[in-house]
Amino acid sequence: MILKRFFLIFFLLSFQTACSQSTPVGVAPSAVEITPHIMSFGVAIDVSVSKSGKDIAIASKEGIISIFRTPEEIASGQCLFEYPKQVEKFYYQLPAKILLFANDEQNILVLSPKGNIDLRDKRSGDLTGKINIPGERITALEFDRKRRYLLVGTEKGKIQLMDPDRYTVVKRFNVPGKEIISLAANDKTLLCGDQENNIHVIDMATGKITRVLKGHRSWAYSLDISMDGKYAVSGAPRNRERTLFGEALLWDLSNGQIIYRSQQQYLQVLRTKFTADDTRIVIGHLYGLAVHSTDGKLIKSIEPFEGHDIFFDFIPGSNAFAASTADYGFDTRSIKIIHAETLSVGQTIASTAAPIWNMRMSPDGSRFIFNQDQALKSFNLSTDEINDLSPIAWANSSLGFSPDDKFIFFQKRAPDDQRKTNWMVMDLASGEIVASRPVNSNLVTPQCIGPDLQYAGYKFYDEDQKKAIFQVVDDKMNPVQKIAVNGLGYSGYEFTPVPRTILESSENQMLRLISLEDTSHYATFRGFKKLGFDGNSMIVYETATRSVKWVSCTTFKTEREIGVDDLDPVKAVVSPGKDQILFWGGLTVQIYDIQKKEHVKTIKLQARYAEGTLEDFLWSPNGKTFVICSRNGVIEFLDSSTGSSKAMLFAKHLQSNDYILMTNDLDWTGTSNGIAYMVGVREDGEFIAPKELAGHQTKQLLKAMLLD
């Protein structure tokens, strides 16, 4: 248990660093805190929908509560929480109801491990109030069917019905000696589940227990009651020993008899509820959702989910509900809004932290371009608008820039036949498709394109030769040259700035330059790592000698060499004046004088936002700014002299143009959705509302950092 808690604390601290800003060692904490609301759900363990249906709160197994705006499909708030230990009875699953959206829609109600209910601001996560029952630890919370009462139960069997707006006690009930684990109520009847597998039926007018429903083989963590009081439905997860299936039960409350038991129909059951009109029952189980009639008959299974264990909550006043998966060991894939009448998916909110894989300046310097997971975004430095350049969605592996960064190469699948694809080339200066070639196979994925657009290449397995081949084709898709793939580990291929020269890179730090005009003309470099290109030369780092070399892509000979110390670079960038070379690796930048072959300075990057795995580095054309991007979806801008953080750019995932660009001094530009929902801002510890930030808006903010 001690080891388990250590890892939990370590993970929460790590996740907090990833989702908020961090203060590097030796740097004074800023009075301004900016938190990008990352669009990542984690492993969902509870879902709650706001009264209007416009917000959805998801509690994750990792200890994060995230708020999502359904109309805009944007994360609008996040905060840390600790799972309430008093209800953690199942060590491999977390089925208890722990989260509700408050009636005011500005706060969320979170069951606390201290035994109370915390009221937290939905955007900032700030504690705004507490609900306590003196001498008791709260173990269950829920609203009644009409949201007239907040139902609260304790580990000693006390139940309170509270005004959901003022949180004052309206009624009290008592089930002596029973720990309450679940609650439900209509106008007249209250249900409560206990840890002896029983469900107590209470008359709300008299407070008397009128019936005890017996029949569950495990604890009923989910309860609901029809508005007419005729039926109840309950759900129980697998027992803690995992010897039994989860089960859903439908009860006749007039006689306490079981109308329907799921038996071994569902391995896991986490939520059971009536639809708003009481005509159907919805069951969240291991592989999806099941909809039953009130006689227990299965109407339809809904399984449009990736992942396992379905949590859901109805949108108040409607028959639509929001469902999310809790696939233990994997992240939640999506939130789906489902219409109970038609059983169709009305909306899907995708879960992704939208990794930023690489960045470029457009050839004319007017736009900042970045490759966000399955989307190519272009930031116009004059208009401050982000445009999605993606004519279609493509696989990540099929996306690549030409060696001169003037073109991007990708493949498009035919809508009528997924086995057919088009290879397409986009001019980054104009955004126009300049080449398109049909390929009658979905197994052939383009890997690279030459700088003159005359040649392209892909890798495939040759059944006749029983080996992998890199095939070069011309602009009419005619075969030009075959190159046997190096068998030593994974091999990647790219064209060099010299159109007829191919670079093969192996994972064991072996490089080969190969001439397409004469494949016998090649050069092998063992123990080398490619850092970039400079004109018609390839810049490489030799591990054994700790030296950086310029190798001609025409003659394959070394043209220049610089010795470097204590360096493990990932990328090299030559200054516009060709007098300096910059080496980047992680959070370290080193600059060398090319002519003098001397070290100029080392700069430590003090990143606050782009945490986790860094994917790419850019040196701004004006030389004043370093740019880094990461898998958490944030692009960060840092001062090239000091390495200190200046600003962050956070763009919404996939095909959307919403974004927020904000400096640490609260100058910002972005879309209305970006400023309203995508970030949380505090100044001197106080949360700042979006309307209060309106006066800080600055036009051409990114242009000033990159060009001016």
Poorest-pLDDT segment among 231-235, 367-371, 654-658, 688-692: 654-658
How far apart CA 119 and CA 401 sit, in angstroms, is 49
Residue 631 — very low, low, confident or very high, per pLDDT cuts 50/70/90?
A: confident
Place of tokens 């003309």: 521
Q: For the purposes of burial, counting CB atoms within 10 Å of the CB of 591, is it exposed (0-12), middle (13-18) or buried (19 or more)? A: middle
Q: What is the mean pLDDT of residues 450-479?
A: 79
b/e per residue 260-272 (b: at least 16 CB within 10 A): bebeebbbbbbbb
Which of 392-396, 496-500, 674-678 is least confident? 392-396
pLDDT-derived band at 26 (thresholds 50, 70, 90) equals: very low
pLDDT digits (tens, 9 = 90+) for 188-244: 999 999 988 999 999 999 999 999 999 888 889 999 999 999 999 999 887 666 666
Reported as a pLDDT band with limits 50, 70 and 90, residue 691 is confident
Which residues sit opposite 426 in a β-bridge?
408, 433
Longest dimension (CA), the chain: 95
pLDDT higher than threshold 50 for residue 666: yes
What is the set of domains in the chain, with CATH numbers?
23-39+352-388+605-708 (no CATH), 40-350 (2.130.10.10)
Lowest-pLDDT choice from 120-129, 263-272, 314-323:
314-323
Task: Print burial letters for 406-436: b (CB count within 10 Å at least 16), e (below 16).
Answer: ebbbbbbbeeeeeeebbbbbbbbeeeeeebe
CB 499 within 8 A of CB 518: no
What is the reported pLDDT for 414? 56
631 φ, ψ (degrees, to nearest 5) = -75, -10
Q: What is the pTM of this model?
A: 0.78
Cα dihedral 469, 470, 474, 477 sign: positive
pLDDT in tens, 391-401: 544 443 445 77
Mean pLDDT of the chain: 82
- Determine the average pLDDT of the residues in 657-664: 91
**Contact of 597 with 562, CB cutoff 8 Å:** yes
Which of 68-72, 301-305, 352-356, 512-516 ranks highest by mean pLDDT? 512-516
pLDDT value of position 110: 96
d(CA 334, CA 305): 8
pLDDT on residue 177: 84
CA dist 26 → 18, 529, 604, 702 (Å): 19, 32, 11, 28
Please report the pLDDT score of residue 489 as a whole number.
Answer: 56
Start-to-end Cα distance in the chain: 56
Q: What is the mean pLDDT of the segment spanning 349-356? A: 68
